[in-house]
Chain A
């Protein structure tokens, strides 16, 4: 029966529970649309986020950038009344196609949120390792220590917390918490990392450190970052997609291309208006 064959796909075709080791992947979207309770909020977005490239999604608020981002790791469907259309392909495999479970998709495509959300009941070390717990990946004690050190170093937090790994996750400052969340997301070695305005609630020093992290990890993880800060987009990304929603219309991608080009010589007048700060 077809219904049984489809279920089998998970165990044989795609290595759903094995962590891929640091191989960045490419995300292709074709005609992605999103609805909330019947209202169309995002229309026909077809973008390619190349492997090992940092792609920034920019545009004024309310244009569907975050919605689009959440479609990429199957978080959109958690909202009651949310629907989507189109396809999202991770290195050619449609994540909505039934071959990959949502929980597995999220292990391949990680996310860092706007408001830092470390688990307050867990220590810093447990926070970093929590993703592994969900995937039931077992490491030796040494392996765990190594992983924690590696991830916290990548996130730029190691030196500040190496002596207090046993403290609770909630005891850090905002910037430190966000870096902890980045370390946590990286610990499962995702192939893509989605970042939803990760620095908007942080001070400039933390923002700086996180942008450094993004540059450091870009080779091994494809990064897609939503940002309101155009200078940040210029600093960290190689490619940029400009989203816009006209009055009463769903959000669309107006322009997509190399960041330098988008800012110095945008093709669409609306892009030009936005990057030059004439509206926001």
Chain B
């Protein structure tokens, strides 16, 4: 190795390139313990999640064994006398129908609300409006149910009656038997209202992240505010909106009490959403708790497992979509 004393540089005349040294692992014992404990805490969550699935499946297996694969295609709840005849079909159908209605009703309103909060609300009152919408996420679902039963349903029965009479050319609105309450439609409406605060909150975060440079670019070209929102904010927020909708969907799938209060619980599997009757997984579990004997309890637990899997898949998909999108990178789903 020759050293050029004047220039201060050194020229190695061997062929070895510099290599990094290994950093000694000299963490304090208290730190080692701390890190181990913290990591264990993180994995405790995994253990709990695993236990949920495991025990629900375990205790639900007797029901599945009693009915075999027909469990998923049968509708009914005879768990006391042989031959047993029960299954998850009507419940799963109802859950999906209500969730779809809730998302169709709730997501557009939530997006509109989020746009209002981020783009149109006057700045001084913005915080107050945001607080009022977020409050909706804290209102207990049983209070939603109470209000829906006593206030919303009586008022909306008139409208659903009209729909049944005048809009019956649309297949799903075809309905023949009054009363036109206690239906999937009304339950879906209520659950839709319940998911608005969550979807609006996530959408709001997403919209506020839309790059101001692009907004200015659109406005400088002469776009009106709604044109700017359509060209810049909504395309940017697409991933976040989808994620938020799936979050809302997950909540709608699991909604128990409001559905229990509204639906007239029978095993109805029909596309006529205005008609009375129907059931969903969550509300059925709550309603039939204690009835049905041992096998019935097992049936309820199996239903719980089914619901658990549904919502797990929906949630994981949601976070996957959001994380891959442009708007999702800054947002906590």
- CA of A159 to CA of B329, assembled, Å: 35
Per-residue interface assignment for chain B, residues 215 to 247, with 1 indicating a CB less than 8 Å from any chain A CB and 0 otherwise: 011111111100100011001100000000000
- Closest residue of chain A to B124 (Cβ to Cβ) is A80
The smallest C-beta distance from A119 to any residue of chain B, in angstroms, reads 6
CB contacts (< 8 Å) of A78 on chain B: these are 216, 219
- CA of A103 to CA of B227, assembled, Å: 11
A227 within 8 A of B: no
CB contacts (< 8 Å) of A104 on chain B: these are 222
- CA of A41 to CA of B227, assembled, Å: 31
Q: Which of A105-113, A242-250, A263-271 contacts B (4 or more CB under 8 A)?
A: A105-113
The smallest C-beta distance from B199 to any residue of chain A, in angstroms, reads 22
CB contacts (< 8 Å) of B223 on chain A: these are 103, 134
Among B220, B222, B227, the residue within 8 A (CB) of A113 is B220
Q: Which of A47-55, A83-91, A143-151, A180-188 contacts B (4 or more CB under 8 A)?
A: A180-188
Given contacts A80-B123, A117-B214, A134-B227, contact A106 B232 (CB under 8 A): no
Are A119 and B213 in touch, CB under 8 angstroms? Answer: no
Given contacts A113-B213, A117-B214, A134-B227, contact A106 B221 (CB under 8 A): yes
Given contacts A103-B223, A103-B224, A135-B222, contact A121 B235 (CB under 8 A): yes
- CA of A166 to CA of B326, assembled, Å: 20
Per-residue interface assignment for chain B, residues 287 to 310, with 1 indicating a CB less than 8 Å from any chain A CB and 0 otherwise: 000000000000000000000000
Are B214 and A119 in touch, CB under 8 angstroms? Answer: yes
- CA of A130 to CA of B227, assembled, Å: 11
- CA of A198 to CA of B211, assembled, Å: 18
- CA of A130 to CA of B232, assembled, Å: 11
Are A115 and B213 in touch, CB under 8 angstroms? Answer: yes
Per-residue interface assignment for chain A, residues 131 to 148, with 1 indicating a CB less than 8 Å from any chain B CB and 0 otherwise: 101110000000000000
Per-residue interface assignment for chain A, residues 174 to 192, with 1 indicating a CB less than 8 Å from any chain B CB and 0 otherwise: 0000000100110010000
- CA of A103 to CA of B223, assembled, Å: 6
CB contacts (< 8 Å) of A185 on chain B: these are 220-221
The smallest C-beta distance from A22 to any residue of chain B, in angstroms, reads 17
Are A130 and B221 in touch, CB under 8 angstroms? Answer: yes
- CA of A117 to CA of B215, assembled, Å: 9
CB contacts (< 8 Å) of A121 on chain B: these are 235-236
Among A80, A107, A117, A133, the residue within 8 A (CB) of B217 is A117
- CA of A135 to CA of B221, assembled, Å: 9
Interface centre among B211, B217, B219 (most CB of A within 10 A): B217
CB contacts (< 8 Å) of B221 on chain A: these are 106-107, 110, 130-131, 134, 184-185, 188
Number of A interface residues in the complex (CB < 8 A): 27
Chain B binding surface SS class = helix
- CA of A25 to CA of B120, assembled, Å: 34
CB contacts (< 8 Å) of A110 on chain B: these are 220-221
CB contacts (< 8 Å) of B219 on chain A: these are 75, 78, 106
- CA of A133 to CA of B123, assembled, Å: 30
Chain B residues 175 to 190 lying within 8 A of chain A, measured CB to CB, are none
Per-residue interface assignment for chain A, residues 187 to 220, with 1 indicating a CB less than 8 Å from any chain B CB and 0 otherwise: 0100000000000000000000000000000000
- CA of A78 to CA of B235, assembled, Å: 22
A73 within 8 A of B: yes
CB contacts (< 8 Å) of B222 on chain A: these are 103-104, 106-107, 131, 134-135, 188
The smallest C-beta distance from A194 to any residue of chain B, in angstroms, reads 8
- CA of A107 to CA of B227, assembled, Å: 14
- CA of A133 to CA of B231, assembled, Å: 10
- CA of A131 to CA of B217, assembled, Å: 10
- Closest residue of chain B to A131 (Cβ to Cβ) is B221
CB contacts (< 8 Å) of B213 on chain A: these are 113, 115, 117
CB contacts (< 8 Å) of A119 on chain B: these are 214, 217-218, 231-232, 235
The smallest C-beta distance from B226 to any residue of chain A, in angstroms, reads 11
- CA of A121 to CA of B326, assembled, Å: 10
Are B216 and A75 in touch, CB under 8 angstroms? Answer: yes
Among B220, B235, B326, the residue within 8 A (CB) of A106 is B220
- Closest residue of chain B to A135 (Cβ to Cβ) is B222
CB contacts (< 8 Å) of B227 on chain A: these are 133-134
- CA of A103 to CA of B235, assembled, Å: 21
- CA of A131 to CA of B216, assembled, Å: 13
- Closest residue of chain A to B211 (Cβ to Cβ) is A117
CB contacts (< 8 Å) of A122 on chain B: these are 231
Are A117 and B123 in touch, CB under 8 angstroms? Answer: no
CB contacts (< 8 Å) of B123 on chain A: these are 80
CB contacts (< 8 Å) of B211 on chain A: these are 117
List chain B positions with a Cβ less than 8 A from chain A. 123, 211, 213-214, 216-224, 227, 231-232, 235-236, 326
What 4 new A-B contacts, CB under 8 Å, besides A80-B123, A135-B222, A188-B222? Answer: A104-B222, A111-B220, A120-B326, A130-B231
List chain A positions with a Cβ less than 8 A from chain B. 73, 75, 78, 80, 103-104, 106-107, 110-111, 113, 115, 117-122, 130-131, 133-135, 181, 184-185, 188
15 contacts between A and B (CB under 8 A): A75-B216, A104-B222, A106-B221, A106-B222, A115-B213, A119-B218, A119-B231, A119-B235, A121-B235, A121-B236, A133-B231, A134-B223, A134-B227, A181-B217, A188-B221
By Cβ-Cβ distance, the 6 closest A-B pairs, closest first, are A107-B222, A117-B217, A117-B213, A111-B220, A121-B235, A131-B221
